[in-house]
Structure 1
Amino acid sequence: MTKSDGEPAGILTDIVRAAAARMDTNDHLRLDALPWPRAVKLTEVGRAQGLVGAYYQPEARPWIQAYSEPLLIEQVGIYCRKGVASPDWSYPTDYKGLIFGNNSSFETPGHQFFTMVDAGDITLEEALTTEQNLMKVDLGRVDCYVQERLVAEKVIRDSQLDNVDFISIASEERSMVAYPKAWEGPGAKAFIKAFDAAIVEMKQDGTIEKIIAGHTAN
């Protein structure tokens, strides 16, 4: 999720709000757009009941009790400064020696990527937001950046970043709401069930498709 005028915004925000509007718990649902590391920590300790935009990573997050019905399938794209990389490169092995930006604590680039970072084959520089990372690519402060395509390309379009090229797709991931084991009881079970039902209904009646289209129209 992103922020607009201090409020949560973006595709996932609109999907969650539309689902909540179909549920009896709509009036009790509060969405906060926070830096990812803080959002993860608050969910882990139970101060937040759901982590929006989580990927299925049971080994990295054993404290998650359940994942929602996928909100959408995200294409994770590789974006580089013009002339740095080629679409026929194999990700991440062919990117050895480059400097990558990343949102703080995001695991979006994948396990093999971070193995290369740990080995010193890729240099990692983290920033808080997608906007900051893509600006660093555009200015030549980092070589590449990996992010969900709908999010990244909106920033590129809105900020007119002419020095950033889409290279290729790194992976496809199911974007879900992750619920912590710290959130228990009948209320939790009822919410999870009702939210899943709303998401399934929204897929069937075209609501999610319309939300995505509304954010991607030029």
Structure 2
Amino acid sequence: MLVRYCCILLLLVSTAAAGVVGNTDTRPLHLLTLMDFRPFSWCEDGEVKGADQAIIKRLFARIGRPVTLECLPWKRALSMVESGSADGLFAGYRTPERERFADFLAKPLHYSKFKVFVCKSAPFPFEQLTDLHGRRIGLQLGYSVNPQFDAARASGKVDVQEASDTYSGLGMLMNGRVEAFIGGEEAIWYAAHKMRRQDELLMLEQPLHPARPAYLMLSKAAPIDDREQLIDALNQALEQMWQSGEVEAVIDRYVAAD
């Protein structure tokens, strides 16, 4: 009788344990990204391209979880993550507003750094913002650099010439229409390689703001049953990818891609 009771108890415990494992969410996560933020993310013939998507695919392969990727306009993507109609997006800056509706991984997918680029044939010293005063500076349309630069621009201390995109901005620099071009470090090197003019370019060392991390965000409203386990697994895997140099290697490959 005792043996029979123990067998029944063991069966019940085993069934309960199997139920916990069976409840693990293995459906593909639906992640959104930007339409055009090269070299980190862009869409080409409906397919997501870029360094961030390559890192995401490697990251989810490490934890054995399927994932689907889609490009959308940024505001719409944020709205879908907030409502839970998408599981997450990449790569976003961490802000108090976004922390209300999204969980962030411990490590970023990449860092964004705004730098000053000049022609190798016409360099100038740059240690502080006043070194840009009185100069013609190229900047992509709609971009804000930092509060100090924006104030100098508004007061006329810096003569900003706007470019429609990174390629046209570099063209302005190479043609002598501006003395420097400001933008994201990786984005400018990517465009310069595509134009095959990277050897004419010099990046000045001083950044215009501290490196800003950009993260994978997971929607708090999305029905992710194994959220805590998933985030733990992703954090461990991404930490390993940073420690091994895999993340930097992927980014470098996309920056220098022909």
What TM-score does the superposition give when structure 2 sets the normalisation length? Answer: 0.61
Displacement of 1:42: 2.4
Q: Which has the higher contact order (CA 8 A, sep 6+)?
A: 1
Q: Which amino acid in the other structure matches residue 97 of structure 2? A: W
Structure 2 residue runs without a partner (length 5+):
1-36
Give the Cα–Cα distance (whole angstroms) in 1 for the partners of residues 115 and 238 of structure 2.
25
1:46 to 80, 83, 86: 80
1:188-199 aligned within 5 A: 189-190=227-228, 192-199=231-238
Q: Is the 8 A contact 1:97 1:123 kept in 2?
A: yes
Contact kept, 8 Å, 1:44 with 1:63, in 2: the verdict is no
- For the aligned residue pairs, the C-alpha RMSD in angstroms reads 3.5
Q: For residue 153 of structure 2, what is the aligned residue in structure 1?
A: 117
Instruction: Give the secondary structure class of the aligned counterpart of 2:80.
Output: coil
Q: Matched residues in 1 for 2:66 and 2:143: separation?
A: 29
CA distance in 2, matches of 1:50, 1:4: 14
Deviation (angstroms), 1:79? 0.5
The answer to whether the aligner puts 1:176 opposite 2:214 as a matched pair is yes
State the shift of 1:141 in Å: 3.3
Compute the displacement of 1:137 (Å): 1.7
Work out the CA distance in 2 between the residues paired with 1:8 and 1:91. Answer: 38
- Is contact 2:89–2:216 with CA below 8 Å preserved after alignment? yes
Q: How many residues align?
A: 204
Pairing 1:7-156 to 2, within 5 Å after superposition: 7-23=47-63, 25-27=65-67, 29-32=68-71, 38-39=73-74, 41-46=75-80, 49-52=88-91, 54-56=92-94, 58=95, 62-65=96-99, 66-68=103-105, 69-81=107-119, 85-86=123-124, 88-107=125-144, 109-156=145-192
Equivalent pairs: percent with the same residue? 19
Change (3 A) 1:106 1:121: same
Q: Which amino acid aligns with 2:165?
A: T
Structure number with bigger Rg: 2
For residues 165-192 of structure 1, what are the alpha-carbon distances to aligned partners after superposition, in whole Å with 9 as ceiling and x for unaligned? Answer: 3222314414322638x75255295565
Give the secondary structure class of the aligned counterpart of 1:145: strand
CA drift at 1:95: 0.5
Residues 99, 143 of structure 1: 8 Å contact kept: yes
